[in-house]
């Protein structure tokens, strides 16, 4: 953990030693809800809990950013895929064209 | 990022693609194959056993696509039509091999946590369940467009179980909507989300190892 974002934790109240409010998500729980959150599949009160946690937690904010980055990188994978079967398929395409 | 296709009728680029294919444009066909082949293999492997059989099913599908191309009316999108041929062929082959319906149940699939439990503080800690150390800050240029990172993602996707691979490829690689995925694979919204969650979690973990490891 870098020191740069530590102050953000202080404002959550947790770092000041107060117990988390009843019903607040832990980070470990939040990471299991990320997909439901991004898919807009959380019930309104669950979504509110999720966003309340996120607003005060730099770690989970980064985690959600990492998931978004993962989605973006996945979208770029086709350009690097090898297609050894392409020659055979192109031959089939040429045959089809001559039909 | 997502490019939802219109529900009915061919979009303008799709009509143009169809015209090029029908005219025998090899580059158009090559692009079509390159775009869909990875997903098609994953779908086929969800239904049949083994990579070799899955490759046969995909090959058969392309031949059927060529045979039907002149009669294709564009009521569904081209990719929806291709996928329906593929699923039909894969199911037939899967039934012959007495394989179960892959997307109907998630029983037997792994149920590993999205993030290793050791990354979180334990029960004896003042803040149990909170990060021990925050996840890394991934700079945009470090991930998007970096070939090694993309290669790491590709490797992680290819290593996923076929059903997870199918869903992440359709959603995140090719940009299908969740409705399209559910319809094409006859999977419930909830099961699709579970598969997508497991897939994204694993690929993120692989990227983390690559970038921060």
Q: Write the pLDDT tens digit of every residue in B24-62.
A: 999 999 999 988 999 999 999 999 988 999 999 999 999
The label of the residue with tokens 């970096």 reads B146
> CB distance from B71 to chain A under 8 Å?
no
Q: Kindly list the domain boundaries of chain B, sorted by start residue.
A: 12-96, 117-212
Q: Domain ranges in chain A?
A: 3-97
Q: How far is CA B106 from CA B103, B111, B122, in A?
A: 7, 9, 29
Contact between B102 and B162 (Cβ < 8 Å)? yes
The CATH fold assigned to B117-212 is Arc Repressor Mutant, subunit A (1.10.10)
CB spacing of B34 vs A71 below 8 angstroms: no
Alpha helix ranges (H) inside chain A = 6-10, 27-30, 34-38, 44-56, 58-74, 86-97
Q: What is the pLDDT of residues A4-63, one digit of tens each?
A: 433 333 334 444 444 455 568 999 999 999 999 999 999 999 999 999 999 999 999 999
Whether residue B205 lies within 8 A of chain A, CB to CB, comes out as: no
What pTM value is reported for the model? 0.84
CA angle B106, B109, B111 (to 5 degrees): 100
User: Where would I find the H helices in chain B?
Assistant: 12-22, 26-47, 51-68, 78-96, 140-143, 147-158, 162-168, 178-185, 189-212
Instruction: Please say whether the structural domain B12-96 has been given the CATH code 1.10.1740.10.
Output: yes
Q: Is B50 on the interface with A (CB under 8 A)?
A: no
Rounded Cα gap, residues B133 and B176, in angstroms: 35
């Amino acid at each position: 953990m870098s020191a740069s974002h530590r102050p953000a934790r202080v404002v959550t109240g947790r770092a000041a030693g107060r117990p988390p409010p009843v019903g607040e998500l832990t980070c470990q729980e939040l990471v299991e809800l990320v997909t439901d959150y991004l898919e807009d599949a959380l019930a309104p009160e669950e979504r509110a809990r999720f966003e309340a946690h996120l607003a005060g937690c730099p770690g989970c904010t980064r985690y959600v950013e990492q998931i978004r980055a993962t989605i973006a990188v996945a979208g770029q994978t086709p350009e690097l895929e090898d297609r050894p079967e392409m020659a055979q398929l192109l031959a089939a395409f040429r045959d089809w064209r001559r039909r | 990022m997502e490019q939802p296709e219109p529900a009915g009728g061919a979009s303008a680029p799709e009509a143009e693609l169809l015209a090029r294919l029908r005219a025998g444009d090899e580059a158009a066909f090559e692009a079509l194959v390159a775009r869909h082949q990875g997903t098609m293999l994953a779908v086929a492997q969800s239904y049949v056993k083994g990579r070799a059989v899955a490759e046969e099913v995909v090959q058969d599908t392309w031949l059927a696509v060529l045979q039907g191309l002149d009669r294709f009316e564009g009521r569904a999108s081209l990719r929806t039509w291709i996928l329906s041929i593929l699923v039909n062929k894969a199911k037939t082959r899967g039934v012959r091999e007495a394989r179960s319906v892959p997307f109907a149940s998630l029983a037997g699939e792994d149920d590993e946590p999205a993030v290793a439990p050791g990354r979180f503080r334990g029960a004896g800690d003042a803040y149990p369940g909170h990060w021990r150390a925050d996840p890394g800050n991934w700079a945009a240029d470090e991930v998007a467009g970096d070939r090694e990172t993309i290669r790491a993602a590709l490797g992680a996707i290819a290593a996923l179980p076929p059903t997870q691979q199918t869903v992440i490829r359709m959603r995140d690689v090719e940009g299908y909507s969740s409705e399209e995925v559910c319809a094409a694979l006859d999977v419930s919204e909830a099961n699709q989300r579970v598969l997508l969650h497991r897939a994204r979690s694993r690929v993120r973990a692989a990227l983390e190892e690559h970038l921060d490891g």
